[in-house]
Structure 1
């Protein structure tokens, strides 16, 4: 009779079956992870992280804000430029109106209206340098027209107030803005005029009558004073580095005057006070200096050829290298 294997014997056979065992992992090591493919490697578009998206939005917002600010600045600048241009045009129009009104006033019969026009022109010269040359010409013409030198001047004549006002306006201007104009007062009657500290640089004063005029500290550098009458003129401290050929400076007060390099050929300087005057390099050919006071005057390198120095006072005058060829020194005090 056949025997049935017992359950214990089968369990014993299963335990004796050999199975592969997993290799042991060293202590402290980590099992390698399986590398997964990213969306980029898989050929799919990359999706930015939420943080990167917010950063880009902030950058775009900042750029738009900067562009907006620049646009506002540009618009503001253009607006300011437009306003400035409009103001400039307005000012020019106002100056033109003032100028036209002033020129009209100086032709009025009333002295008060004429004076108002002269003062208005003077103010315009101060406010608008571009209009100064035109105003210099207008005022010069006004003086020549209203104060022409008479053939027989009346003695003791005082200068009219409107002529004095016009002369003062010219004398006190800033000559840096004259170009291309210049003060032209040739042939005018300016006797007893007050031109203290006047700026008459390069002025044309040919044949002008400046008898008794006050030209203290005046600047006449480069002026043309040919045949001008400066008899008894007050010229203390004046710069007369000018053309004074045939000028009448008889009895003129030239104390300390600057006549450096002045052209005084045939000038009449009789009885003139030239004490401490600077006549360095002055050309005094055939000039009349009879009885002139040249005490302590600087006459170095001066040309005194054929000059008349009869009875002149040359005490302490510096005549170093002066040319006295043919000069008359009879009775001169040295």
Structure 2
């Protein structure tokens, strides 16, 4: 086949390319012109062959790499089902490597990690969270200091917070996730941790430390944020409808562009002069009374203390 191709290039194809001008020549002039044409045709043919070879090699490499990624993904997911915590940790970090190296697998990997967190931490039956009761001891219902998610769940949340900033077709689903005591502070990451555009509806985030976290666009409707720390967090577009905020540290938080937030919710939160509120809430007598109560309480009891909920005026 190769010999036939060479004969075609050196014979009929050369005459076709040379055309009538060369046919009109005689003797040595015609021979020289044909040789020059053959060299041109051979060079062009060689270029085409090289290009086809490169394309074939690239496709072979792509298919091989794709197969390797698929194998690595399957192995990592298999590790997540292990009974050994160290193997589950290895699976989480193996998925992070795939996430960094393969943009095509981004949506699949983050969905697997979010599902892992949700299914391994899912809360019990939902309870409708009532507004703060000035007479109730809400702190008694808090988990003890030091309570936090298991190591594999913490690692999965860290990977989600470090995920590359790429388009995601849908929100990550962390509804009902039990993330009590989650520690995710900006100063512990190389870049601001991102929990953007997530469903955190009904999530249990009591005592979570989310200082500096980017939560923009996430839905926290019905979430329990009692004693959570949100100072410096990015909260634009966050939904807080029916969220519980007893003792939540909103001092210095920018809440101008959130939705679903009410004065009743803020009556148990920690707010100060640096808390930026929507105009209607900033002017609300209940919120103004709460802010004054927080400032007065902390002047006496210290900057880390939390006053009891403020009754409606």
| TM-score of the alignment, normalized to the shorter chain, above 0.5 | yes
- CA, structure 1 residues 212+53, in 2 after alignment: closer, same or farther (shift >3 Å)? same
1:84 aligned residue: 58
1:104 aligned residue: 78
1:2-17 equivalence runs, <5 A: none
Matching of residue 65 in structure 1 with residue 39 in structure 2: yes
The superposition leaves residues 172-201 of structure 1 with CA deviations (integer Å, 9 ceiling, x where unpaired) of 112424324x32111111112122332121
2:16 aligned residue: none
Matching of residue 248 in structure 1 with residue 244 in structure 2: yes
Counterpart pick for 2:155 among 162, 165, 168:
165
Instruction: Give the CA RMSD over aligned residues.
Output: 2.9
- CA, structure 1 residues 214+68, in 2 after alignment: closer, same or farther (shift >3 Å)? same
- CA, structure 1 residues 299+115, in 2 after alignment: closer, same or farther (shift >3 Å)? closer
Matching of residue 294 in structure 1 with residue 272 in structure 2: yes
Q: Higher helix share goes to which structure?
A: 2
- Larger relative contact order (Cα-Cα within 8 Å, sequence gap ≥ 6): 2
CA distance in structure 2 between the aligned counterparts of 1:103 and 1:291, rounded to whole angstroms: 40
Superposition deviation, residue 154 in structure 1: 5.2
CA distance in structure 2 between the aligned counterparts of 1:165 and 1:213, rounded to whole angstroms: 15
1:1-334 equivalence runs, <5 A: 53-150=27-124, 155-156=144-145, 157-180=147-170, 182-196=171-185, 197-241=192-236, 242-266=238-262, 286-289=264-267, 292-299=270-277, 301-303=279-281, 308-309=286-287, 310-313=289-292
CA distance in structure 2 between the aligned counterparts of 1:232 and 1:104, rounded to whole angstroms: 36
> Mind listing any 5+ residue stretches in structure 1 that lack a counterpart?
1-50, 267-283, 316-327
CA distance in structure 1 between the aligned counterparts of 2:99 and 2:255, rounded to whole angstroms: 30
Q: Is the 8 A contact 2:201 2:220 kept in 1?
A: yes
Superposition deviation, residue 150 in structure 1: 4.9
The superposition leaves residues 78-125 of structure 1 with CA deviations (integer Å, 9 ceiling, x where unpaired) of 001001111111111111111111111110111111111111111111
* Larger gyration radius, structure 1 or structure 2: 1
Superposition deviation, residue 52 in structure 1: 7.8
Question: How many residues align structurally?
Answer: 249
Q: Is the 8 A contact 2:182 2:208 kept in 1?
A: yes
Worse overlay, 124-133 or 103-112: 124-133
CA distance in structure 1 between the aligned counterparts of 2:199 and 2:269, rounded to whole angstroms: 29
The superposition leaves residues 18-50 of structure 1 with CA deviations (integer Å, 9 ceiling, x where unpaired) of xxxxxxxxxxxxxxxxxxxxxxxxxxxxxxxxx
Q: Is the 8 A contact 2:255 2:276 kept in 1?
A: no
